Amino acid sequence: MTRITAEVPAETASLVEELARSRGITGAEFVAEAVQRVAEHEAEFRAFVQEGVDAADRGDVVPHADVMIKLDEMIARHRARCA
């Protein structure tokens, strides 16, 4: 384990403690879990973006005009169902 220290507004610290108490865990456990979740989410997002960059580098893309045609078709179908 590694310890991380960060300054947060008093309101945030109070909220963390309140939420941790409601879950029956310590504030430190709550923060550790929150940091882990955010870090994992950011890593997943970075990987997702990299997939797009790699696809574009390979030329594996759909032209903008083709995308707009498909979107216009989808919008028209939706409007027809709602009418």
Q: Could you tell me the residue ranges of all domains in the chain?
A: 10-82
Residue 31 is predicted with a pLDDT of: 97
Residue 12 is predicted with a pLDDT of: 98
pTM of this prediction? 0.71
The residue written with tokens 């696809």 in the block is: 55
- Could you give the CA distance from residue 53 to residue 58 in angstroms, rounded to a whole number? 9
Kindly tell me the sign of the dihedral angle through the C-alpha atoms of 36, 37, 38, 40: positive
Q: In the predicted model, what is the mean pLDDT of residues 28-36?
A: 97
Residue 74 is predicted with a pLDDT of: 98
